[in-house]
Chain A
């Protein structure tokens, strides 16, 4: 015995004489979760439509990996003499791909504001937290998809990965993606032009990336660089990823993971706080 909802009533119900909305309203939590899913789905559909972006985003990491990596390889002596430079930077290149694609989620927010679509989302009945979470998950999923394809190159670098470590690496990449997407969204809140945002992003992303130890070992650094590298939250994500893929890490897994989670949670919190002030003009 199934109850017949209003929706499956006689034809005309959806187009006729109804003073009230002819569907039951979900609880606020369910509504927010559905909203998060809807925003996530939109980002994934858009990435799939925009395959040029999907393919184009591989070019930069590959250039770093093969040209820069190939050039420095001959003169490199890392923490372990048998370790080749290209293999050493491979986890760092994955982190770079995530950093750049995840920060793009911020550009997507600025873009939505520019074309007016953000207004549609902001007058919809879901909380600002749900809006931010939807964008964060959408952006980090996009960056995870791209990083996973790059991760698939691991056999070419003489890396052996168990299925378990592969999954752990995906988890770490997703966490880096979440914190970076949230950072991008937090930075995007006051921005009204994509060009301005690109400039801002370069001031933030490039230092974070270069200081992170993605391109060089953390031992034998000059003092000032060692200090800045320790302040940079991306360092811990790169270190964790390198530990999982290559078995080399400078900090303990516990420190790495803790720093990554604290950084991610802080960024999400800031993004939500800033987003609550968002008041679009009609």
Chain B
């Protein structure tokens, strides 16, 4: 038994070898996933990052056995998705980008329905529903029809439902699109709590670097291929330093430049950004941008610290910009305004 278990734990949760998916119709052929290989060990949090149309959704649809690969090998927990799709489905939980609840049933009935479909015995179902509905703070509303729920409540119910059958692999497809910040935070809190409770591998697709930041490893996808695969820290490091942008009155500009050159040496590249702003890359030996800002001479009108973000990684790797997202680049800027 122990040996059996040990052997089972030796293979990765996800193994993808030379996966290719071609959508062909009578008129055209489109390669959505192009010769992708990767593997995700058990318990890892793995993120697929990339713009719309990069092939993220196709990849996870194949893992979830909804689409079949054109060629290549795909195994989930050692099980071939083509040979035994039902066994694979039993192991995965999916939290979809779009709603997928039955709004004419109550919260509890949605959980029950899910549990029945996954073959859970009655007593396991009811205890599990109670535990999860309490976790997402919907236990008091369990008998209300889902149609009376707000968007945030529905989302929480979907998370609870996705965790219902103890999935060993949780697939999250752009899970926080259109969510308010509070719901977004609690979603991650619930998922991390669930991860502490049992070994769960997480596969996330997202446009947001901020979200992928929590992952153990991130794969950046573009036009059906992986263009990078590394830890978030390593990816960011490859992008270079933070950039500081300072806005000062005209009369202070020269003394500021002199201070910066004095501090970092004549090799510092200072750019004029126009509108009274100058920018420079923060040298790596400067420990804290806050410390620097405190010590700047004269009047500073505003300070912007730009940390590298997905757009930068993406442009660097592909020479093109990402499709703009509704969030823009806001999460990656920290702006200090007023007197410092």
A7 to B90, CA, bound (A): 18
Given contact pairs A34-B119, A282-B173, A22 touches B89 in the complex (Cβ within 8 A):
no
> Which residues 1-35 in B have Cβ within 8 Å of A in the complex?
9
Q: Is A119 an interface residue (CB 8 A)?
A: yes
Asked if B90 and A123 sit within 8 Å, CB to CB, the answer is: no
Given contact pairs A42-B105, A45-B109, A8 touches B123 in the complex (Cβ within 8 A):
yes
Contact partner of B100 (CB less than 8 A), chosen from A28, A49, A120, A126, is: A120
Asked if A42 and B123 sit within 8 Å, CB to CB, the answer is: no
Asked if B114 and A18 sit within 8 Å, CB to CB, the answer is: no
Q: Which residue of A lies closest to B145 (CB)?
A: A49
Inter-chain contacts of B98 with A (CB < 8 A): 116
Q: What 1/0 flags go to B111-140 for Cβ under 8 Å of A?
A: 001101111110110011001000000000
Nearest-neighbour CB distance to chain B for A27, whole angstroms, equals: 10
Given contact pairs A23-B124, A126-B86, A49 touches B116 in the complex (Cβ within 8 A):
no
Q: Is B210 an interface residue (CB 8 A)?
A: no
Q: What 1/0 flags go to B66-107 for Cβ under 8 Å of A?
A: 110000000000000000001101101010111111111100
Nearest-neighbour CB distance to chain B for A133, whole angstroms, equals: 14
Q: What 1/0 flags go to B55-66 for Cβ under 8 Å of A?
A: 001001100111
> Which residues 101-139 in A have Cβ within 8 Å of B in the complex?
115-117, 119-127
Asked if A123 and B119 sit within 8 Å, CB to CB, the answer is: no
Q: Is A3 an interface residue (CB 8 A)?
A: no
Q: Which residue of A lies closest to B131 (CB)?
A: A15
Nearest-neighbour CB distance to chain B for A204, whole angstroms, equals: 26
Contact partner of A22 (CB less than 8 A), chosen from B109, B124, B145, is: B124
A38 to B101, CA, bound (A): 15
Given contact pairs A14-B128, A15-B197, A45-B105, A23 touches B61 in the complex (Cβ within 8 A):
no
Inter-chain contacts of B92 with A (CB < 8 A): 123
Q: Is A26 an interface residue (CB 8 A)?
A: yes
Asked if A124 and B97 sit within 8 Å, CB to CB, the answer is: no
A25 to B197, CA, bound (A): 21
Q: Is A281 an interface residue (CB 8 A)?
A: yes
Q: Is A247 an interface residue (CB 8 A)?
A: no
Interface size class of B (residues with CB under 8 A): 35 or more
Q: Is B149 an interface residue (CB 8 A)?
A: no
Given contact pairs A7-B127, A42-B105, A116 touches B166 in the complex (Cβ within 8 A):
no
Inter-chain contacts of B90 with A (CB < 8 A): 21, 25, 125
Inter-chain contacts of A281 with B (CB < 8 A): 57, 61
Interface size class of A (residues with CB under 8 A): 35 or more
Inter-chain contacts of A34 with B (CB < 8 A): 116-117, 119
A16 to B196, CA, bound (A): 8
Nearest-neighbour CB distance to chain B for A237, whole angstroms, equals: 30
Asked if B124 and A38 sit within 8 Å, CB to CB, the answer is: no
Most B Cβ at <10 Å: residue of A5, A8, A119, A127: A119
A34 to B122, CA, bound (A): 12
Q: Is B165 an interface residue (CB 8 A)?
A: yes
A281 to B102, CA, bound (A): 18
Inter-chain contacts of A21 with B (CB < 8 A): 90, 165-166, 168
Contact partner of A124 (CB less than 8 A), chosen from B89, B104, B105, B173, is: B89
Nearest-neighbour CB distance to chain B for A31, whole angstroms, equals: 5
Inter-chain contacts of B99 with A (CB < 8 A): 115-116
Contact partner of A125 (CB less than 8 A), chosen from B66, B89, B113, is: B89
Inter-chain contacts of B57 with A (CB < 8 A): 281-282
Inter-chain contacts of B113 with A (CB < 8 A): 38, 42
Q: Which residue of A lies closest to B98 (CB)?
A: A116
Asked if B104 and A49 sit within 8 Å, CB to CB, the answer is: yes
Q: Is A35 an interface residue (CB 8 A)?
A: yes
Nearest-neighbour CB distance to chain A for B28, whole angstroms, equals: 17
Given contact pairs A7-B127, A17-B198, A125 touches B119 in the complex (Cβ within 8 A):
yes
A-B contact pairs, 18 of them (CB 8 A): A6-B124, A7-B121, A7-B124, A14-B124, A14-B127, A23-B119, A25-B90, A28-B86, A45-B109, A116-B99, A120-B114, A121-B117, A122-B66, A123-B65, A123-B89, A125-B87, A126-B86, A280-B66
Seen from chain B, the residues whose Cβ lies within 8 Å of a Cβ on chain A are 9, 57, 60-61, 64-67, 86-87, 89-90, 92, 94, 96-105, 109, 113-114, 116-121, 123-124, 127-128, 131, 145, 161, 165-166, 168, 173, 197-199
A30-B119, A31-B119, A125-B87 given; 19 more Cβ-contact pairs under 8 Å:
A7-B124, A16-B198, A17-B197, A17-B198, A20-B166, A38-B113, A49-B145, A115-B100, A116-B99, A119-B94, A119-B96, A121-B117, A123-B89, A124-B117, A124-B118, A125-B89, A125-B90, A127-B86, A282-B96
